[in-house]
Structures are given as C-alpha cells and as structure tokens.
Structure 1
Amino acid sequence: MDNTKKLGLIIGSLRKDSINRMVAEYIVSQLPENIEVEEIEIAQLPLYNQDYDKQTIESYDQVRQKIKEVDTVLIVTPEHNRTLPAALKNVIDIASRPHGDSAWSGKKVAVVTASPGTYGGRECGLDVRKSMQALSAKVMIAPEVYLSHASDSIEDGKVSNEKTQQYLTKFADALVQFIEE
C-alpha cells in the first residue's frame, strides 16, 4: 500500500533570498520521505481579472491543477503592510475561480508566516486563514506559526537558531499529522 502524500508549497515572497523560503526549506527538510513536496510557483502568474474566467490561461490552469492534485497546501509567507503580499493574494484568487470550481474547496491548508519584525506576520497569517475558511478550505488550527525576528534565526541562508529549529520541527510534526488525517 502506497502511503505517499503530496504537499504543495506556496511561498508568498518572490525574493530569491527570502526569509520565508529559508523557513519553508527547513520545515520541508523535517518531513518524512513519504511526503512529496512540490513548490507551486506564483511569480509568473498574471494578475487575476474576472474577465479571464472565460479564457484559457495556461499558467492559471497549471496552478489550479497543481493545487487540486496535492493532498495539502503549505503557505509560507511574509506580511506586506499588515496583510497578504500581492502575489499570494493573486494565487488565492486565481485558484478560487472560475465560480463553482475552486481548487481550495475542501483542500487542507497550513499557514506559516515569518517576518523580521516583532509581530511575525500575524496579521497576514490571520488574513490568509480568513480567506481560506471563506473558500471552504480545511485550515490547520494548531500550532499557529507567526515567526517574529525571523532574520535573527538565519545564518548562511539556513535556519540556524536552535530554538527556532525546535519550534519549526514541532510544527513539521503537527503538519505531518494534519496531512495524514
């Protein structure tokens, strides 16, 4: 019996050296081998426009299909101006359309935010959760991860702070349970 599970990874930051990418890489490194991870790229997506619902846009179709094919989606994102980054909001909107065919409906979703600031992207995390709940996704309740002062935990492009590693490993363990439920 194949117990392989598929995890789609969406990183809300488009920066090459994103703190959130480093946090996501650490979380993924803690997952067991039976969880296949595929990053769902969002940088190339044109801005959502409802007029496009009647057209075929290959990048939209691809991202919608990838979200539908995975068992769970992990969103790791920064906060921009106390809410979602534009690229993350864009993919959420794209995958929710066309009306009646949302890729988010019934999809398991886990959310992690990381920020160099004091609040750890908490407002963004809450906004993502609110959007996912409105789209009928099954949102992972606990533990919530709003990693503050995240840049202090990074050295040479990796999460190096032992306390942060332990915290993220605890989250990864809970994520595995959530995926396998």
Structure 2
Amino acid sequence: MKKVLFIVGSIRQESINRKVALAISKLLSADFTPIFAEIKNLPLYNQDFDGKEPSEVIAFKEQIKACDAVIIVTPEYNRSVPGVLKNALDIGSRPGGQSVWDGKPVGILGASEGAIGTALAQQHLRLIVSFLNMPAMSQPEAYVRYHHALLSEDGKILEAGTKAHLEKWVAAFEAWVKKFVI
C-alpha cells in the first residue's frame, strides 16, 4: 500500500482545489491510500526555528516522511503559487540538507474558474519541486476548469470529459510513483 500525501495550496474553507483534490483521491486505485496534509496552521518559515521547530512543523514533516508520494493541487494567485503553499514547501525543505521532500515523486495539478486554469502556478511549482529534488510527473498535465456543475455534492466528477482526463492523470501518476517506490 502506497501512501499519497495531498497538499492543497488553498486554505479557504470552500476551496475548489480542495474539492477537486477530494474527487481525485477517490479515483486512486486500492494500491494507494490518500492522506491530506493541513497547511493552514503552519507558522511562517523562520530560520531561527531550524532545529527547534514548533509542534505543527514537526507533525507536518513527519506526515511527509511517512508518505511515498505527493499530489499538490494548487490555485493560481497573481500568476504563481499561493504564499501558504510556498511556505509549506519551504518548511519541509529546511534546515538545509534535511529536506523531507527529497526524492518524493510528485504530481501537480490545479483548478480555476479562469480560462487559463492554473498553468502559470503549475509552471512555477515545477521549478520549486525540481530544486527540492522531487521527480515531477510531466504528462499528462491537468488544468481543471471549475464550474458549479463539475462535482456532485458527494465529490464525484460529473463532467464526462473531465472525469476521463483525471482518470487518465491518476493512472499515469500511479505508474509514475511505481517507478520510484517499490
């Protein structure tokens, strides 16, 4: 059983990216267990805390260590990733030489109501995870165009084309993870 840590780059209570992440988690095969990280209570990264991290940071890092792979579902804020997501990535990478992200395969996607989806945020995120030595799945990409009829109340994907694409994305992600995790 492989554990997949989902990190949602939005902390908004009614986040469309959280809704999409939950829907995607239901598409995982029985070989994969979804685990959701909560990043809203993480303090801002401060190098003064290296080696004496607050309990929230320690718990977050332990959650990352316990997982085999990561899926990041991000909105796009001002053509980039939200600050809260960048903060979580920074926290996991510090102190220097002790990154808990190292070698974790990652899948990146995002949802937006806008026409270009989260293309630029995902591009920036790929640069960040590359530096963190996280092998990122490059194909297929997933830029989910969110609208009110996309998901049912219980989180099922209603739009046939989007569901088929995300099923393909999940299958590719699972195959990607298996290249790195035995």
> TM-score if structure 1 supplies the norm length?
0.92
1:150 has 2:146 as partner: yes
**Equivalent residue, structure 2, for 1:88:** 85
**Equivalent residue, structure 1, for 2:21:** 24
- How much does 1:97 deviate? 0.3
- How much does 1:173 deviate? 0.9
* CA contact 1:153–1:164 (8 Å) conserved in 2: no
- Once the two structures are superposed, residues 98-118 of structure 1 have per-residue CA deviations (whole angstroms, 9 ceiling, x without a partner) of 111001111111101111101
Instruction: Please show how residues 102-121 of structure 1 align to structure 2 within 5 Å.
Output: 102-121=99-118
**Equivalent residue, structure 1, for 2:3:** 6
* Partner SS state of residue 3, structure 2: strand
- From the superposition, tell whether residues 178 and 153 of structure 1 become closer, same or farther in structure 2 (CA, over 3 Å): farther
- Once the two structures are superposed, residues 12-61 of structure 1 have per-residue CA deviations (whole angstroms, 9 ceiling, x without a partner) of 11122211112112211111122111101101101111111142311111
Of 43, 54, 58, the match for 2:55? 58
* Partner SS state of residue 75, structure 1: strand
- How much does 1:156 deviate? 4.3
* CA contact 1:116–1:152 (8 Å) conserved in 2: no
Mapped to 1, the partners of 2:109 and 2:74 lie a distance apart of 6
**Equivalent residue, structure 1, for 2:174:** 176
Code of the aligned partner of 1:27: I
- Once the two structures are superposed, residues 79-123 of structure 1 have per-residue CA deviations (whole angstroms, 9 ceiling, x without a partner) of 111101111011000000011100111111110111110111111
1:41 has 2:43 as partner: no
* Partner SS state of residue 154, structure 1: coil
* CA contact 1:82–1:124 (8 Å) conserved in 2: yes
- How much does 1:155 deviate? 4.3
Of all paired residues, the percent bearing the same amino acid is 36
> TM-score if structure 2 supplies the norm length?
0.92
Mapped to 1, the partners of 2:56 and 2:96 lie a distance apart of 18
Of 119, 123, 128, the match for 2:120? 123
Code of the aligned partner of 1:169: E
* CA contact 1:7–1:71 (8 Å) conserved in 2: yes
Cα RMSD after superposing both structures: 1.4
Code of the aligned partner of 1:154: L
* CA contact 1:113–1:145 (8 Å) conserved in 2: yes
